[in-house]
Amino acid sequence: DAKTTQPPSMDCAEGRAANLPCNHSTISGNEYVYWYRQIHSQGPQYIIHGLKNNETNEMASLIITEDRKSSTLILPHATLRDTAVYYCIVRPRSNDYKLSFGAGTTVTVRA
Residues 56-85 contacting another protein, CB under 8 A: none
In the complex, minimum distance from the CB of residue 35 to another protein, in angstroms, rounded to a whole number: 10
- Our measurement of the distance from residue 45's CA atom to the centroid of its chain's CA atoms, rounded to an integer in Å, reads 11
Binding residue for another protein (CB under 8 A) from 11, 28, 30, 46? Answer: 46
Q: Determine if 100 is a binding residue for another protein (CB under 8 A).
A: yes
* Amino acid making up residue 42: Q
Q: Between residues 66 and 100, which has the closer beta carbon with respect to another protein?
A: 100
Task: State how far the Cα of 111 lies from the Cα of 104, in Å rounded to an integer.
Answer: 22
Task: State how far the Cα of 79 lies from the Cα of 33, in Å rounded to an integer.
Answer: 24
In the complex, minimum distance from the CB of residue 66 to another protein, in angstroms, rounded to a whole number: 23
Q: Determine if 99 is a binding residue for another protein (CB under 8 A).
A: yes
Q: Determine if 53 is a binding residue for another protein (CB under 8 A).
A: no
Task: Tell me how long the chain is.
Answer: 111
Instruction: Assign 93 to helix, strand or coil.
Output: coil
Q: Under a CB-based contact definition with an 8 Å cutoff, are residues 17 and 107 in contact?
A: no
Q: Determine if 8 is a binding residue for another protein (CB under 8 A).
A: no
